[in-house]
Each structure stands twice: as structure tokens, then as C-alpha cells.
Structure 1
Amino acid sequence: MPGPAPLHLPRLAAAQSDTWVALPAGEALVSQHVLQLTRKLPGQQVQGAGEWVLCLSGEVVIDLPAGQWLRLQAGETVALPAGVVWSAVPMSGEAVLLRSSGTL
């Protein structure tokens, strides 16, 4: 019996640029969304107990409250606490982000 089919996240995100695309959750109590970012992403509010944002490809600047910011390159991630409002801008052309919250 074959196992589950793999998902190609950058290709899935490219199907709807600049829109969060929900990934199948299966039996885990986790919410995951992928995004191909081609322009500034307006304010996003962290829900629940917090979330992780992972840069899958490209490079992005994450704007945080109080004038703080950070730069994520492919393979880098950041944990954001509940209630934080953040926005993102791709550094060159586009970036692909994975947003994950919940528990496994």
C-alpha cells in the first residue's frame, strides 16, 4: 500500500500568489498555511498560543511591533507569541513562507 503523497509547498503556494493556502491537517491539531509572497503582506495577528513562520525559499523582512524587525532567509524560522501583529516584505522578487500553529 503506497504512503501519503508528498506536497510540493512552493508549487502549491504559487497557485495562489499572495494568499495563504491551507495545508491538510490530518490527525494533528495543527494549522499550517503556505504563501508565495510577491509584495508586502499587511498586518497578520498571531492566534492561539503562538505560531512559527518558516521561510522556505527566498528572503523576507518581518516587521514586528515597536519598530523591531528581522530578516529570514530560506531555511530560517521564528516563533511569534500570541497577539503579536506582524507584516512581511520579500527582499528580492518573491519568497515562500510556511505559517504553523497548534500542537502535534
Structure 2
Amino acid sequence: MNDSDSSPRIGQFVLIKQGRDVGQFAVIVDILDDRFVLLADGDKRKFKNPKKKNVNHLEFFDFVSPEVQSSINETGRVTNGKLRFALTKFVNEQVTDLKKGELFDGERRCN
């Protein structure tokens, strides 16, 4: 397994699989070590008060928000609005597509 594929990245989207926030999506805003990351969603979990989470309790998506990643890399922080926007966009575009793919075998249906 390629190490770069398995290691978390700042700005990466995750689904929380264990704990009080199970089933919620979040963005990685910092990587503490090889076991723990800090998550925020810009809503209940603000950037200033991120959640420390064990990587074993997360499902990683192969999507990184370039806006969040560049903001953190350039300034060391990101606005909660930008986090909310990135998460909403990700959930609406990617997660909805994934669910449609599972439900309809990749067939697109319009309402």
C-alpha cells in the first residue's frame, strides 16, 4: 500500500465512524501524529475548537478541498464559512453522487 494514499492530508474530507459525532462529515484541519488528526466542520466544530479524532475512527475520502488546504498552508488558519462551504459542496456533489451510484447502479435519474 502506498504511504501517500493512506496518510491523512489537511483539507481532506472524512466521515466520522465512531463517537458522539458518528455519521457526520468533517474536514481535517491539522495532523497531530500518525494516529490523531484535528477535525472541524465550521458549524458545531469551529476551526478554533477542533475535535481530536483517532484516524481508525474515520472513513477517508479521496477528496481534498483546495480552498481549505491552501488557506491553512498559507495563513495557518481557515474561516468557518470556508469550511462550511467546502463541506456543503462536497456532500452535495460527491456524497450524493456516491449514493446515487449505489442506489441506481450508476444510472442517473433526474426528478
**TM-score bracket for the superposition, by shorter chain length:** under 0.3
| TM-score of the aligned structures, taking structure 2 as reference length | 0.27
Indicate the structure (1 or 2) with the bigger Cα radius of gyration: 2
| TM-score of the aligned structures, taking structure 1 as reference length | 0.28
- Larger fraction in helix: 2
Answer 1 or 2: higher relative contact order, Cα 8 Å, separation at least 6.
1
